[in-house]
Amino acid sequence: MKELVTAILLAIALEGMFYSLFPGGAKRVWELVQEIPESQLRIGGLVAAVVSIGAIWAVRVWL
């Protein structure tokens, strides 16, 4: 549970850094995201989650 909370907080910190360093870029990204159909966002999110979980597993097993 401790690792899950740490991972979530790290993701929030990285997102915050992105917004603070590139506020204009963040706005443009959100404008583009609004144009993407929900089905594509769901598929993209699922793919990202599966790839990320696989990468975490690989790092933990091999490093």
**Residue 62 pLDDT greater than 90, yes or no:** yes
Residue 19 contacts residue 26 (beta carbons within 8 Å):
yes
pTM, to two decimals: 0.71
pLDDT of residue 52: 93
C-alpha span between 8 and 35 (Å, rounded): 27
pLDDT of residue 36: 96
Listed as own residue / partner, the contacts of 12-20 with beta carbons closer than 8 Å and 24 or more positions apart are none
pLDDT of residue 24: 96
pLDDT digits (tens, 9 = 90+) for 1-53: 888 899 999 999 999 999 999 999 999 999 999 999 999 999 999 999 999 99
Structure-token pair, residue 43: 């598929």
